[in-house]
Amino acid sequence: MSNETVIILGWIGGGAFAILMLSLIWWSLFADRSMGNPRCPHCWHSMAGRAELHSTARNGGSELRQTVADQRTAPWQCSECGGITSEHQLFKTRRRWRHACLALAALLAATLWLRSNLVAGGWCTVTPDRLVIALLPFVPDGTEAAHVRSHLRDRLENGSLSTANALRMIDLAQRGDARTPPGSPSWNATYGPWLHAIAARLSRSGSPDDEPLRQGVLRLPPTLSLRGSEIWWADQPCIVTALARDWWPQPVTLQLRVLHVEGIPMDPDVLKNLQDCRWIHNADDQFDSGLSINLGKLPIGEHHGGLQLQWTAVDSPRTHEPISVGELILPIHVDIQSTAPPLTPISDAEIDRAVAACFAPGLRIRPGHPPQFAFSTRQFETSSTHLRSVAFGVIAHACEDGVPRRTLRMWWRGGGGDRSSSGSESPVEDAQRLITADTSPRWTLRIQGDAELAQRAAHEPVSAAATHYWAGSIEIPLQVEVVNAAEMMRPWIMDRAQAPTELLPPSR
């Protein structure tokens, strides 16, 4: 029996119990009225005969009154129990206080039990799941809404939510509402956590019963947004960062292509280079890493436009078989100024050691077809507070006998800055030589500071602009780790092969 059925039966049983107790209380206190019939208030024996005798005595002559007076009994004495009462008490309502108190105590105990459950888990824990899902769009934003979403996510993760109700959640997410249109930040806050829980549930379970749930999740489009500084400089390439989230189970993967950039005066060659690229997203990336898109150098002035992207859900990163496809336009607003404020170069032994520690894990290799390579970096090594004013732009080379076999250009902000100021370009690598990399002295890791890359991290949205950049150059032994994980190691992998020209229509 499902938890929802238990809750429904509990409400039915609880309602019946409450009605029974209230009925018992009413019956105990109000049901047994005299209805004009005189009764003994002690034993409730009928005293209609004695009342009739007294009425006749009041209306009769002196002889009849004397006959009644000669009786050696009290005027209103019950012939059953001998109790004596007054005339006005003959018409009292009979009240069974013991029964009423017991029923009231039972009702209060049930109420206190329900209240304790509401305090411990909230109203949603004693509400059928389908009703909680239906009420979710109407729950005010804040702590209460977060609690309801957390409750649904927990039930998804522990597998106690039925497939039918999980499909209701997917349909609700697909529709959205006026406050939470699909793809908006509020939509992500409302539906994102438990959509991830659905994807995790599908990844863990291979049950055929979950196939309708899998098909429902595949109907959901990914969420895409752009971040980056609105101020850039004419002497440097303009970089925007695309953030992507999808809710599809493994091994379904998101692919992105740039179709066009509207309203931005880009160099045609730069645009053609973007259009020839295809980026594959690692859905297991837990750090919300962005995809850095280079728009090239732009003329001075304010530019408003849009980045037109095509997203494709593919069956796996190897087959590239499309499942669904769609398009969207992300707005771009950038103010191009003449030149960037100069950064003062800085380099000392302490910062050099911190940068070396960032790249100390070295190169990770995942054999296969094609093989995958990634530098394992730890940017938190530069999170010391005295480095808040330092922007890091580095060019990292994995070298074989001094010859670069893999080059990565990346940037970030020191002092534990906001991740929105970090990024990297697609690496340039020689896969045939990298697959032979090892920890011998022939392989080294060369790291050089670069002023232009550092400028990309200099203007952080949440703090003051950087004033310095790391200008050092170090070379350390290359550490190599061979991994056999099935998932991709990098958040984004760039593939210059053209995507299929015929794709399935967007799922609705």
3-state SS string over 47-106?
Answer: CHHHHHHHHHHHHCCHHHHHHHHHCCCCCCECCCCCCECCHHHHHCCECCHHHHHHHHHH
Burial class of 260 by CB neighbour count within 10 A (0 to 12, 13 to 18, 19+): middle
The predicted pLDDT at position 397 comes to: 96
The predicted pLDDT at position 322 comes to: 84
pLDDT tens column, 342-369: 999 999 999 999 999 999 999 998 887 6
Taking alpha carbons only, the member of 440, 444, 471, 428 closest to residue 362 is: 444
Give the whole-angstrom CA distance, residue 481 versus residue 364: 5
Cross-strand pairs, 410 = 394, 424
Give the whole-angstrom CA distance, residue 316 versus residue 252: 5
Residue 37: CB partners within 8 Å, gap ≥ 6?
A: 46, 48, 91
Residue 164: CB partners within 8 Å, gap ≥ 6?
A: 130
Mark the ranges of the chain whose per-residue pLDDT is less than 70: 1-10, 48-76, 82, 84, 87, 117-126, 141-145, 177-178, 183, 185, 205-207, 283-289, 317-320, 369, 417-420, 460-463, 485-489, 496-508
Cβ neighbours, 10 Å, residue 53? 15
Percentage of the chain modeled with pLDDT above 90: 25
Q: CA dihedral in degrees (54, 58, 64, 67; nearest 10)?
A: 50
- 422, 206 Cβ separation under 8 angstroms: no
Give the whole-angstrom CA distance, residue 291 versus residue 330: 14
- 404, 392 Cβ separation under 8 angstroms: no
Phi, psi of 364 (to 5 degrees): -110, 135
The β-bridge relationship of strands 480-482 and 363-366 is parallel
The predicted pLDDT at position 302 comes to: 93
Give counts: helices (H), strands (E), the chain: 13, 20
CA 363-368-369 angle, 5° bins = 120
Give the whole-angstrom CA distance, residue 223 versus residue 283: 12
Taking alpha carbons only, the member of 273, 249, 243, 262 closest to residue 422 is: 243
The predicted pLDDT at position 5 comes to: 59
The predicted pLDDT at position 103 comes to: 87
Please name the helix (run of DSSP H) or strand (run of DSSP E) that holds residue 326, with its range, or none.
strand 322-337
Integer-rounded Cα radius of gyration of the chain = 39
Give the whole-angstrom CA distance, residue 428 versus residue 230: 28
The predicted pLDDT at position 232 comes to: 86
* DSSP notation for 461-478: TTSPPP-EEE--EEEEEP
The predicted pLDDT at position 70 comes to: 45
CATH for 223-337 (3.40.50, 1.10.3470, 2.60.40, 1.10.287): 2.60.40
The β-bridge relationship of strands 468-470 and 390-400 is parallel
The predicted pLDDT at position 500 comes to: 38
The predicted pLDDT at position 36 comes to: 73
- Listed in order, the ranges of the chain carrying CATH 2.60.40 are 223-337
